[in-house]
């Protein structure tokens, strides 16, 4: 994945555990690792190794780190200069959830080798959404749940999520999202 994602992982680990932990993780994963370049694609395995090594070194489950990565993503992306794009994507949670593919399609113009996930959002009724998440990557569902919570915070609402993992009848992850505060 693009360096932007690895930089978000670095930011999360530095903020949560401090710089020395981050340096230990980086050195264990690859002692020759240079600063990440936002616009450069890196092997997916590197991102998974950073999370896995941080989990081993801190005892915090990898899924919890992925959730927090997702939760912090909207703020991180805003600080990295993607605030306008986020503004453009939707003014409510409902609108935003329906525009996730459009958001990544726009990003394809800046990140030519982007291999984005796909999200199909069905509005069941006001405040109740069924979001179908498909990805060529395995194991990122906790990050997606964190992303939805981060988006809810952005729109001043709170949500509860029911998750049907991708081994189920649809063959992909399904998230049923219920707004608990409008």
Residue 92: phi and psi, rounded to 5, are -135, 165
Count other C-beta atoms under 10 Å from residue 79's C-beta.
Answer: 10
H runs (alpha helix) in 90-166:
93-98, 100-107, 141-154
In angstroms, rounded to a whole number, what is the distance separating the alpha carbons of residues 148 and 136? Answer: 19
Binding segment for ligand HEM (CB under 6 A), chosen from 18-26, 138-146, 161-169, 172-180, is 138-146
Binding segment for ligand HEM (CB under 6 A), chosen from 28-36, 55-63, 141-149, 165-173, is 141-149
Q: Which of 69, 144, 145, 174 binds ligand HEM (CB under 6 A)?
A: 144
Give least dist CB 24 to ligand HEM, A.
Answer: 25
Q: Mention every residue, 6+ apart, whose C-beta is less than 8 A from residue 20.
A: none
Binding to ligand HEM in span 100-119, by CB under 6 A: 100, 103-104, 107, 111, 114-117
In angstroms, rounded to a whole number, what is the distance separating the alpha carbons of residues 64 and 159? Answer: 18
Q: Which residues bind ligand HEM (CB under 6 A)?
A: 1-2, 4-5, 41, 77, 82, 85-86, 100, 103-104, 107, 111, 114-117, 135, 137, 140, 143-144, 147, 151
């Amino acid at each position: 994945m693009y360096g932007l994602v690895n930089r978000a992982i670095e930011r999360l680990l530095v903020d949560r555990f401090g710089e020395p932990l981050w340096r230990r993780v980086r050195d264990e994963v690859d002692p020759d690792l240079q600063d990440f370049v936002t616009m450069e694609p890196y092997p997916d395995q590197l991102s998974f190794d950073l999370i896995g090594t941080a989990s081993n070194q801190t005892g915090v489950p990898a899924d919890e780190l992925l959730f927090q990565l997702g939760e912090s993503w909207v703020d991180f992306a805003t600080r990295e200069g993607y605030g306008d794009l986020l503004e453009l994507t939707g003014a409510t949670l409902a609108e935003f959830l329906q525009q996730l593919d459009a958001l990544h399609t726009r990003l394809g113009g800046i990140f030519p080798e982007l291999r984005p996930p796909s999200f199909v959002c069905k509005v069941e009724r006001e405040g109740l959404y069924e979001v179908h998440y498909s990805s060529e990557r395995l194991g990122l569902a906790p990050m997606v749940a964190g992303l939805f919570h981060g988006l809810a915070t952005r729109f001043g609402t709170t949500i509860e999520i029911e998750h049907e993992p991708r081994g189920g009848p649809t063959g992909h992850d399904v998230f049923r999202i219920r707004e608990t505060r409008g």
